[in-house]
């Protein structure tokens, strides 16, 4: 298994979920959070996966995520599956762009996996700035979307998933297994290494206490089974082993 972090950069997120690259806004506004945005490219024996899709920011007129893929030696058309942990815009806006009113995905040959209940919840929250409803409604028009309804299961021979809730009502996490290696992606239930050091129920989570309990359980399992952990928002480390 090959893992390639695709870090779009360090961003400040305002209270109304407006994101700004740190190097373009060095001061920022009071109360803004600073975080990395880092989707992951995973090469499995039978798939080339993108795990979450970033913010879709551009640099020099080109999507940062596409540039990172190409710098790693891949083209967007090679992606076979895109897995979404949840539907907040910092995990989905990098899926494509609008050409006038038509949405075009950067990954036309990939199958997109997302939770149906997460989509239903997101579309019921028109005032929630965490969701980009224009993008989510456009995703519904794509022919290559798989709407997952099970609480847990498998995707192919090497991927398992589980709907855990926590950060969002129907947030899901993924395990990737190849030979003796286990890689875990906890999405925004485990976005930074510091979340393992301080047992805190964060108010930014839909159910902070549940997310905290999940982290404690995963930490124990990770130590016993020697997991690699993928961290989407960590400022320094995108992949760790405990």
By the 10 Å C-beta count (0-12 exposed, 13-18 middle, 19+ buried), 133 is classed as middle
What per-residue confidence (pLDDT) applies to 31? 59
Residue 151 neighbours by CB under 8 Å, 6+ apart: 162, 163
Identify the pLDDT of residue 30. Answer: 58
Cα separation, 109 vs 16, whole angstroms: 34
pLDDT in tens, 40-97: 999 999 999 999 999 999 999 999 999 999 999 999 999 999 999 999 999 999 999 9
Residue 186 pLDDT > 60, yes or no? yes
Find the distance separating the first CA and the last CA of the chain, reported in whole Å.
19
Give the burial class of 15: count Cβ atoms within 10 A of its Cβ; 0-12 exposed, 13-18 middle, 19 or more buried: exposed
pLDDT the model gives residue 24: 55
pLDDT for res 101: 87
Give the angle subtended at the CA of 166 by the CAs of 162 and 169, to the nearest 5°: 80
Confidence class for position 22, pLDDT limits 50, 70, 90: confident
**CA pair distance 66, 108, nearest whole angstrom:** 13
Query: What is the spatial distance between Cα 12 and Cα 26, in angstroms, rounded to a whole number?
Result: 9
Asked if residue 27 has pLDDT above 60, the reply is: no
pTM (2 d.p.): 0.95
Q: How far is Cα 153 from Cα 126, in angstroms, rounded to an integer?
A: 30
Q: Which tens digits make up the pLDDT trace of 110-161?
A: 999 999 999 999 999 999 999 999 999 999 999 999 999 999 999 999 999 9
Could you give all domains of the chain from N- to C-terminal order, each with its CATH number? 2-241 (3.60.15.10)
Three-state SS for 85-120 is: CCCCHHHHHHHEEEECCEEEECCCCCEEEEEHHHHH
Q: Supply the pLDDT for residue 5.
A: 98
Q: How far is CA 46 from CA 41, 63, 177, in A?
A: 14, 27, 12
Contact 167, 211 (CB under 8 A): yes
Mean residue pLDDT of the chain comes to 95
Are 86 and 187 spatial neighbours (Cβ–Cβ below 8 Å)?
Answer: yes
**CA nearest neighbour of 122 among 103, 110, 139, 101:** 139
Alpha-carbon distances, residue 242 vs 63, 130, 150, 236 (angstroms): 33, 31, 30, 15
């Amino acid at each position: 298994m090959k893992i390639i972090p695709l870090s779009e950069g360090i961003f400040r997120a305002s209270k109304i979920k407006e994101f700004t690259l740190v190097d373009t806004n060095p001061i920022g506004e009071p109360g803004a959070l600073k975080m990395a945005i880092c989707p992951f490219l995973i090469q499995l024996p039978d798939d080339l996966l993108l795990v979450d899709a970033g913010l879709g920011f551009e640099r020099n007129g080109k999507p940062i995520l596409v540039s990172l893929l190409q710098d790693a030696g891949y083209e967007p058309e090679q992606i076979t599956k895109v897995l979404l942990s949840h539907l907040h815009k910092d995990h989905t806006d990098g899926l494509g762009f609008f050409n006038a009113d038509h949405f075009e995905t950067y990954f036309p040959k990939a199958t997109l996996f997302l939770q149906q209940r997460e989509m239903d919840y997101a579309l019921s929250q028109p005032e929630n700035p965490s969701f980009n409803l224009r993008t989510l409604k456009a995703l519904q028009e794509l022919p290559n979307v798989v709407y997952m309804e099970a609480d847990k299961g498998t995707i192919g021979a090497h991927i398992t998933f589980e709907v855990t809730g926590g950060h969002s009502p129907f947030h899901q996490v993924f395990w990737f297994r190849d030979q003796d290696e286990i890689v875990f992606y906890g999405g925004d239930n485990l976005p930074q290494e510091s979340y393992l050091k301080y047992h805190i129920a964060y108010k930014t989570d839909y159910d902070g206490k549940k997310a905290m309990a999940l982290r404690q359980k995963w930490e124990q399992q990770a130590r016993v089974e020697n997991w690699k952990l993928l961290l989407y928002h960590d400022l320094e480390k995108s992949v760790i082993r405990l």
